Amino acid sequence: MLCFLIGTVLIVFGMGLFSLGAERSMTPIGNRVGTALTKSKNLPLILAVSFALGFAVTVAEPDLQVLADTVPHINNAVLLVTVGAGVGFFLMICMLRILTGMKLRILLLIFYAAVFLLAFFADRDFLGIAFDSGGVTTGPMTVPFILAMGIGVSMIRSDKNAAADSFGLVALCSIGPILAVLILGFFYKNADGAAAGEIVNAFTNTVQIGRAYLSAIPVYLKEMAVALLPIAAIFFLFQVVSLRMSGRNLAKICFGIFYTYVGLVLFLTGVNVGFSSLGAMLGFELATGYTRYLLVPLSMLLGWFIISAEPAVAVLEKQIEEVSAGAIPGKAIKISLSIAIALAMGFSMLRVLTGWSILWFLLPGYAAALLLSFFVPDIYTAIAFDSGGVASGPMTATFMLQFVIGASRAVDGNILSDAFGVVAMVAMMPLISIQAVGLVYERKKASALPEEPAAYGDFDIVELWEDRAA
């Protein structure tokens, strides 16, 4: 319990510093670089820098770092590079979409068709991890950066759809890792660590706890420095060549990068040493006795509240209200997300207890989401698919994934096929719920339209008030 409490404190301070740093550094970097790239009108340069930034930001994503440490049968560096390349490639596609005004729905239909075609032939042990990779890459580091970069690029366009086209970047970028990991499964074979996958640390005294935390900090200091260095290098290159920001604004971004760095180190230290262990042990203990019947409702309850702790959700809500000029309230988005995540957690635990394949849930779920896209305006589809990415953030990857893995161990399930996939379920459910909200709002809007004013002739007498006495 002491180890867990220390880990929780580190996570709170780490995520606080990280969110502050991401807002002060990643968002302005993405916005300014996106605008500068588009002004250059050099398409090869736009695509090359988009790939490099997408790769760099993804590798530094804390959710992905946690997942890479948890996955037992894929080397940490191999998974990071594969997922980073997937995001970088699809960020290039996103830039092309914004510049050309391509329909998001068409791209989603094409790429998800390719995803599920590959999924039917892919190794079952790679299936859940591939879809989880798509969810964890769109977290508190990537979402502000990608959204800001999209808005920066779209500002160059003057048509009425430019702002709406800035959404959907997260949706497309979350497809890249899924395809990349599925393709990796056809070529990558590694049996080492097949029994791993659960982060459990046991300590006999407080001295061991202290040593564990102190020894972990230098490791993450080095890892996060390597992860953030490419982003900083690209930004300073743009600063010298084209941005030429004032010293005050440059200092703000530098402090933001420093806050991001310190926050990441504290967050990952707290997660990997103390926080995730409780989730794994709690899941194991609850699945061993009569309490296993409480697993599904408890998972749904945790899912309802866990969305409030996801920092990227607040970023998305703010962006939605700004772009829609308040027409889409953030509160409605948040309630629909809470319902969606509660159902996702319940389905995930049901998979653990029954051993059902994740495709039985993902295939009809994505089919329903894509079908709904034909009945709601494009902006709702883009927001829905973006919401799916941001909902599966640090809390899902750190606590709930370990909770499900612990329960899977207790019932002697296959962790790779039954437990992994919880992040994917969390990423899928908002696609349906947000579009359903959009459908309801559009129908209310249509029914509330004022009647057409009556046509009057030139000599008709029109009474502008009624006789109150009557």
Q: Is residue 294 within 8 Å of residue 415, measured between CB atoms? A: no
Residues 188 and 265: their CA atoms lie apart, in Å, by 30
Q: What average pLDDT does the segment 197-204 reach?
A: 59
Residues 368 and 257: their CA atoms lie apart, in Å, by 40
- pLDDT at residue 191 is higher than 70: no
Tokens 């339209």 label which residue? 449
Tokens 């890249």 label which residue? 176
Among 13-17, 60-64, 403-407, 418-422, where is mean pLDDT lowest?
60-64
pLDDT of residue 197: 46
Q: What average pLDDT does the segment 109-117 reach?
A: 91
Length of the chain: 470
pLDDT of residue 193: 43
pLDDT of residue 347: 92
pLDDT of residue 219: 86
Closest by Cα among 431, 426, 432 to 358: 426
Sign of CA dihedral 205, 209, 215, 219: positive
Q: What average pLDDT does the segment 231-247 reach?
A: 85
Confidence band, pLDDT 50/70/90 cuts, at residue 255: very high
Among 84-93, 147-156, 169-178, 414-423, where is mean pLDDT lowest?
147-156
Instruction: Render the burial of 314-340: b for 16+ CB within 10 Å, e for the rest.
Output: bbbbebbbebbeeebebebbbebbbbb
Residues 307 and 286: their CA atoms lie apart, in Å, by 22
Number of Cβ within 10 Å of residue 138's Cβ equals 33
pTM of the model: 0.79
In the three-class reduction of DSSP (H, G, I as helix; E, B as strand; rest coil), residue 468 is classed as: coil
From residue 291, give the alpha-carbon distance in Å to each of 121, 279, 280, 282: 37, 15, 15, 11
Q: What is the pLDDT of residues 12-43, one digit of tens each?
A: 898 889 888 888 888 888 888 887 877 777 88
Q: What is the pLDDT of residues 271-311, one digit of tens each?
A: 878 777 778 888 888 888 788 888 899 989 988 887 776 66
